[in-house]
Amino acid sequence: MKPTTNIAEALTPDGSRLTLQRHDGQFHMRVDGELLMSTRAWQSEAEMAEVGCVRVAGKMPKRVLIGGLGFGFTLRRVLEIVQPDAEVEVAELMPRMVAWNREHLREVNGLLLDDPRVTITIGDVLGVLGRAAPGRYDTVLLDVDNGPVALVDPGNDRIYSASGLRVLSRALAPGGRAVFWSAWSHRGFLRHLTAAGFRAHALAAKAYPQAVRETHTLFVADRVGRPAR
């Protein structure tokens, strides 16, 4: 039986224990012992970037905001797609997550943090959106907690609430696109997106490339009309 190595530990803002582990050549992250993410399951995160960075309103996105760094698979795919003059901002709540990517996960995607197009902002992504100028971002990619369902931290619900969606809408450019990663489907969330003024649909996505079934969901929300004031 191959051993599991604990590489690093930290406390989240709500006091939960976050653990970075390595097992059989793969990295895993757990919250109070429960699996949060793995370097084996990255396909849906990359697909989120692809869906978010297609030509929207006839142009490639120049300003992209990623909510949640994780193991950097969304960031990697975004950088593969966007142009050399693009600006890619990553909002990460935990400084330790950024440090782990630089120190322990360089062989995964940690080196991408030094790409000149990338800016790392330590803080809550909803706060970043709230401080942004109207219409600031062409694309916003949100991979926070488990998505709008089965939240590990109930406080993250505010990102998916009506008030949170208003903040997001204001920060998106006309014709801009937001994509929400979710561990499961949630028809009610589509109704919330529509009620908030987005043109929305859901896509099924595989957790990892060899998966037989599509178990994750991507909620796609397009901003219509003029930016909110």
For residues 18 and 69, give the distance between their C-alpha atoms in angstroms, rounded to a whole number: 14
pLDDT of residue 23 exceeding 80? yes
Which is higher by pLDDT, 27 or 35? 27
57 pLDDT tier (thresholds 50, 70, 90): low
pLDDT of residue 63 exceeding 90? yes
CB 159 within 8 A of CB 126: yes
- Residue 95 has what pLDDT? 93
What pLDDT, in 10s, does the model give residues 146-203? 788 877 777 788 899 999 999 999 999 999 999 999 988 888 899 999 999 999 999 9
- Residue 229 has what pLDDT? 42
Identity at 197, one-letter amino acid code: G
Tell me the average pLDDT across 206-226: 84
**Residue closest to 49 by CA, chosen among 68, 36, 35, 30:** 68
63 to each of 48, 59, 76, 181, 199, how far by Cα in Å?
16, 12, 15, 19, 20
- Residue 144 has what pLDDT? 87
For residues 165 and 163, give the distance between their C-alpha atoms in angstroms, rounded to a whole number: 5
Tell me the average pLDDT across 112-125: 96
**Residue closest to 94 by CA, chosen among 41, 179, 18:** 18
Which is higher by pLDDT, 226 or 61? 61
What pLDDT, in 10s, does the model give residues 11-21? 988 888 999 99
pLDDT of residue 65 exceeding 90? yes
Q: Mind listing the domains of the chain with CATH numbers? A: 40-222 (3.40.50.150)
What pLDDT, in 10s, does the model give residues 209-218? 777 788 899 9
- Residue 211 has what pLDDT? 79
Q: Is the pTM of this model over 0.85?
A: yes
Average pLDDT value for the chain:
90
CB 204 within 8 A of CB 182: no
For residues 40 and 76, give the distance between their C-alpha atoms in angstroms, rounded to a whole number: 15
CB 133 within 8 A of CB 47: no
Range with lowest mean pLDDT among 67-71, 164-168, 204-208:
204-208
